[in-house]
Amino acid sequence: MRIHRIRVRNFKAVEDREVRFAAGVTVLEGANETGKTTLVDALDLLLRREIKDSSTARDVTNAKPIQRDVAPEIEAELESGPYRLVVRRRWGRGRQQRMTELEISAPERENLTGDAAHDRLHAILDATLDTALFRALRVVQGAGIHQAALERGGWLGRALDEAAGGAGGRDEHEQLFERVRTRYEEFFTPKTGKPRRELADAERLAEDAQLRLDEAERQLAELNDSIEQHAALGVRIRECEARLPELRAREGESQALVTELEKARLEVDAARQDVQFKRYELRALERELEARSTSRAELARSAEAVAAAENALREATESAARAERDAQSARGELEAARREASDSRSLLDQARADRDLLARRARLRLRETDLQRARELTDRLASAEQLARHRLDDERASAIQDATKAAEIARAALRREGPRVALTALGAVDVDIGDERIELEPGARRDLPVGEGLTVALPGRLAIRITPGTSGDALRDELRTAEQRLRQALDETGLDSAADATRLWPQVQAARREVADLRAQLERLAGELAHDELGVVGSLTAWISGESRALAELQARRAPTAGELPGDASAAEDAVTAAAARVEVAEERLHRSGAHAERGTATLRAAELRAVEARSQHDARRANHDALARELEQHVAERPDDALRSAAGAARDALRHAEVRLAALGGRVDEDLLEQRQMLLQTDRTRRQRAEDLLSELRQDRDRCEGKLDALGGKGLFEQVEARRAEHRARADQHERLARQGAAARVLFETLHRHREAARSAYRRPLREQIVALGRLVHDRSFDVHLDDELRIVQRIDARGPIPFELLSSGAQEQLDLILRAAVARLVAKLDGSAGGVPMIVDDALGYADPERLRTMNALLGQVGQTVQVIVLTCHPDRFAAVPGATLVRIDGPAAGYPPSSSA
């Protein structure tokens, strides 16, 4: 299709405008809102199938100018296929205002109006234009720069098909492919290609049926085995039953032979036992005779032993009595020694107590002297302490001294250096100087310091007040300070003058020294006595009275037997020494007699023990002797010695007889033969036993077999097997059928899919080649792209490698998008019957392009314009100025009058 001309009246902001378009590139340039896009929108509206002149669609009502009651109208001159036509349409309120007109000038002239014109227009467009592609190749202003959704099929599809040599990609094949895919997915999952449930179930069911069949067959086989086993058992049982009678007979014969031989041997054994018994009998009698003579000898020995024990007992008893006597005398001596020791210790204690009493009396007298002295010292201390408590101390005394000295110095300085008044008595005169009245001799001179101020008066006549003014202020201040300090120090000590202080200070110091000395003396007198509360005098007084009471008490308590108290300490000490010597002698005696008594006691114990032992031995021997005697006596009573001797003789005779009989039997027993026969019998018995056991086992087995057969017989195992075989067969068939269908679906799908992929690849190639050819005008020789099945650019490839489309910059995306459209437009333009394909409309593009890129894109548009009609709308005067061979159309402001358009 080619657009020759568009005229718009009363359409949105445009009153009336007509633009003519070149066959190649037309650049429509104008400022924003000058109606460039309106022109293209108007063409779209004119060509839309569903928009008739009576339409009230929003796009139509929006087209009506605001605040003007006029009908929008569009007119376009187009060429599509063999048709050249002009179409006009006006949308209005009433029938009068509406209008659709179609003027066809080629190939044959036709004029149509109303719906007929509308229908004819769309019939022509349907036959000669791929409208979907036309729309896809539009870049609508403000709609972004995403890739156009390119419809498959249509002109592009045909163009690609032809360019790819008819590789094919048409809809009916896609439908076929979808059917095949659906069929495939009935059997297999789309992603993993695993069998779906129906197929898997069929296989599982077949396997399950096989398992059940196997189980049934196993049971039937087991039953058949039992039948076979039963038959085999029958044969063996009959064999066994046939053999048994012979085995039993043979065992019976062997048994008879053995029994006979065993009977003979029993007789010999009995005779041998008889001999043995009689031998034992004789030996017993002989032993009893021997025992009796032994007992008698033993009884005699026992009597001797009893006599010896009696002697020993007597000696031991006497020895014990002697020891008892010795022990008693030792104990008497020990008792006397103890008494003496006790008495002498009492005497010593009394002597010591007397000595202590005398010592304490002497100390009491000393303490009474100390008390006298302490009373004197305490009186002296009280008077010394009174003076010592004065407030004067080292610090204060030197402070008073220092302050006195400083005041004197200040005063001297004031006198020396302060204002002074010199008085010279011209005659005798009384002068009051301050409060003092002095008499001055004529010619007497007085030089007086003014000090703080000085009043000199001639009493009754004149008073002169002299003040120092400011002269000598510093000296006066110094003096005042010194005097204040002196006064303060005196106040603290309670003294009136520095002189008092000077006088008193040595006395105070002496008193303080005396206090310390007296206290020390008192301390020495007190000694170890506690005297904090009562004072030294009180403590001493208390101690003396207590000690006096204690001594009086001791004196009173002294034993009346103690005799006279020694005269003095020395006599007391002598009495102590004498008493101690007596104690020593008494204790020595006590020690000796104690050891003697202990030895006596030990001797006594040993003698008593020996006596007990002797008695015990004597008793035991006596008892033993009595028992022996009783026993012998009893034996003899039971069987006198003569009877015993005659019984032994009889036993000897019986033994001889038995030995003779055994010797007579001995030769008749053949042990080897018996053993041989017994072994044979054992063999025969084992054989018979085994045969019976076997028979019993076989019968049990047969019974078990029969039991099993009876139990399973009516179950119809065979029919179960057959039923399961049929079930298995049916399921296996079903599975095989499904598997075969699945295999067919898989082979078909995979084959078709493979060829389809190959075809698609071939189908993409021509478009890619076009894109690459155009892209290399803009980029370099390494430019390439990768297209997907939907013919979208998914990657741009250059010397740096592939870059996904969505990661490209906005500018690069827009440029690539434009290249894709241009490539499509060029491909379609070559298609037979497309009559130059579809116009490519570019609305306000390449805003992001740099100057160099803009230049190359301009060149690209020029190239495209050689085969395709290109309409470029731009608001930027220079952006598309360099498109080779382009026709430039400028639009200025909303058109009011007749078109100011121009065409090249």
Partner 1 sequence: MGFRFLHSSDWQLGMRRHFLDDDAQARFTQARIDVIRTLARVVREREAAFVVVAGDVFEHNQVGDRTVDRALGALAEIPVPVFLLPGNHDPLEPGCLYRRPAFAAACPPHVVVLDDALPRSVPGCPTAEVVGAPWLGKHPREDLVAAALAGLPAPAAGVRRIVVGHGAVDVLQPDREAEATIALAPLEAALAAGTVHYVALGDRHSATAVDARGAVRYCGAPEPTDFDEQRPGRVLVVDPCSAVPQVDEVTVGTWRFVDHRAELEQPGDVDALLAELTGLPDKERTIVRLALVGSLRIDDLARLDTELDRLAGAFASLRRWARHDDLRPRPDALDERVLALSGYAKTAWDELCAAARDEADGPDAIAARDALVLLHRFAARGGDA
456/442 Cα distance (integer angstroms): 17
299/292 Cα distance (integer angstroms): 11
**H or E stretch at 186:** helix 171-187
Count of positions on this chain that bind partner 1 (CB under 8 A): 56
* Least Cβ distance, residue 182 to partner 1 (angstroms): 9
Q: Determine if 705 is a binding residue for partner 1 (CB under 8 A).
A: yes
> Pairing between strand 2-11 and 25-30?
unpaired
* Least Cβ distance, residue 746 to partner 1 (angstroms): 8
* Least Cβ distance, residue 694 to partner 1 (angstroms): 20
* Least Cβ distance, residue 728 to partner 1 (angstroms): 8
Q: Within 13 Å of residue 801, how many CA atoms lie on the same side as its CB?
A: 1
Give every CB contact of residue 161 below 8 A, 6+ residues apart in sequence.
167, 168, 169, 170, 763
Comparison of 215 and 356: residue with beta carbon closer to partner 1: 215
Amino acid letter, 874: T
Q: Determine if 745 is a binding residue for partner 1 (CB under 8 A).
A: yes
Comparison of 575 and 717: residue with beta carbon closer to partner 1: 717
Q: Determine if 142 is a binding residue for partner 1 (CB under 8 A).
A: no
Q: Determine if 469 is a binding residue for partner 1 (CB under 8 A).
A: no
Q: Determine if 744 is a binding residue for partner 1 (CB under 8 A).
A: yes
* Least Cβ distance, residue 741 to partner 1 (angstroms): 7
Q: Determine if 205 is a binding residue for partner 1 (CB under 8 A).
A: no
* Least Cβ distance, residue 795 to partner 1 (angstroms): 24
* Least Cβ distance, residue 833 to partner 1 (angstroms): 20
* Least Cβ distance, residue 226 to partner 1 (angstroms): 7
Q: Determine if 699 is a binding residue for partner 1 (CB under 8 A).
A: no
Comparison of 126 and 736: residue with beta carbon closer to partner 1: 736
> Pairing between strand 14-20 and 462-466?
unpaired
Determine the interface stretch with partner 1 among 223-231, 331-339, 688-696, 802-810 (rule: CB under 8 A): 223-231
**H or E stretch at 746:** helix 717-778
**Neighbour count for residue 490 (Cβ, 10 Å):** 20
Determine the interface stretch with partner 1 among 27-35, 224-232, 562-570, 825-833 (rule: CB under 8 A): 224-232
* Least Cβ distance, residue 154 to partner 1 (angstroms): 16
What phi and psi values does residue 710 have, to the nearest 5 degrees?
-60, -40
Of the candidates 617, 613, 404, which has an alpha carbon nearest to the alpha carbon of residue 497? 404
Rule CB under 8 A: choose which of 565, 709, 777, 859 binds partner 1. 709
Q: Determine if 746 is a binding residue for partner 1 (CB under 8 A).
A: yes
Site string for partner 1, 356-385 (x = CB under 8 A): ------------------------------
170/162 Cα distance (integer angstroms): 12
Comparison of 281 and 727: residue with beta carbon closer to partner 1: 727
Amino acid letter, 165: G
* Least Cβ distance, residue 235 to partner 1 (angstroms): 11
183/524 Cα distance (integer angstroms): 137
Rule CB under 8 A: choose which of 49, 93, 146, 179 binds partner 1. 179
Comparison of 327 and 717: residue with beta carbon closer to partner 1: 717
Question: Within positions 757 to 776, which residues make up the interface with partner 1, using CB under 8 A?
Answer: 758-760
Which residues face 84 on adjacent strands? 79, 106
Rule CB under 8 A: choose which of 262, 477, 631, 719 binds partner 1. 719
Give every CB contact of residue 693 below 8 A, 6+ residues apart in sequence.
none
Site string for partner 1, 155-174 (x = CB under 8 A): -----------xxxxx-xx-
Q: Determine if 700 is a binding residue for partner 1 (CB under 8 A).
A: no
Amino acid letter, 840: M
Of the candidates 332, 709, 350, which has an alpha carbon nearest to the alpha carbon of residue 557? 350
Rule CB under 8 A: choose which of 106, 231, 270, 464 binds partner 1. 231
* Least Cβ distance, residue 717 to partner 1 (angstroms): 4
E-strand stretches of 799-839: 801-804
Rule CB under 8 A: choose which of 180, 607, 787, 857 binds partner 1. 180
Comparison of 151 and 706: residue with beta carbon closer to partner 1: 706
Q: Determine if 127 is a binding residue for partner 1 (CB under 8 A).
A: no
Amino acid letter, 836: G
306/510 Cα distance (integer angstroms): 116
Comparison of 217 and 514: residue with beta carbon closer to partner 1: 217
> Pairing between strand 138-139 and 840-843?
parallel
Rule CB under 8 A: choose which of 43, 63, 456, 717 binds partner 1. 717
- What is the residue whose two structure tokens read 């709308």? 873
Cα 81 to chain centroid distance, Å, stands at 83
Q: Determine if 751 is a binding residue for partner 1 (CB under 8 A).
A: yes
* Least Cβ distance, residue 762 to partner 1 (angstroms): 9
Q: Determine if 662 is a binding residue for partner 1 (CB under 8 A).
A: no
Give every CB contact of residue 155 below 8 A, 6+ residues apart in sequence.
130, 133, 828, 831, 834, 837, 838
Site string for partner 1, 721-740 (x = CB under 8 A): -xx-xx--xx---------x
In Å, the largest CA–CA distance within the chain is: 211
**H or E stretch at 726:** helix 717-778
Give every CB contact of residue 285 below 8 A, 6+ residues apart in sequence.
644, 647, 648, 651
Q: Determine if 313 is a binding residue for partner 1 (CB under 8 A).
A: no
Determine the interface stretch with partner 1 among 113-121, 245-253, 700-708, 810-818 (rule: CB under 8 A): 700-708
DSSP string spanning 639-708?
A: S-HHHHHHHHHHHHHHHHHHHHHHHHHGGG--HHHHHHHHHHHHHHHHHHHHHHHHHHHHHHHHHHHHHH
Rule CB under 8 A: choose which of 377, 712, 772, 777 binds partner 1. 712
Q: Determine if 220 is a binding residue for partner 1 (CB under 8 A).
A: yes
Contact 453, 428 (CB under 8 A): no
Determine the interface stretch with partner 1 among 349-357, 477-485, 691-699, 707-715 (rule: CB under 8 A): 707-715
Comparison of 121 and 220: residue with beta carbon closer to partner 1: 220
Give every CB contact of residue 447 below 8 A, 6+ residues apart in sequence.
420, 421, 422, 423
519/428 Cα distance (integer angstroms): 67
Give every CB contact of residue 742 below 8 A, 6+ residues apart in sequence.
187, 188, 195, 199
* Least Cβ distance, residue 190 to partner 1 (angstroms): 18
Give every CB contact of residue 607 below 8 A, 6+ residues apart in sequence.
316, 319, 320, 322, 323
* The length of the chain, given as a count of residues: 904
Comparison of 84 and 708: residue with beta carbon closer to partner 1: 708
Nearest 10 degrees: Cα torsion 294, 295, 300, 301: 70
* Least Cβ distance, residue 729 to partner 1 (angstroms): 4
Comparison of 436 and 710: residue with beta carbon closer to partner 1: 710
Interface contacts to partner 1, rule CB under 8 A: 166-170, 172-173, 175-177, 179-180, 183, 220, 223, 226-227, 230-231, 234, 705-706, 708-710, 712-720, 722-723, 725-726, 729-730, 740-741, 743-748, 751-752, 754-756, 758-760
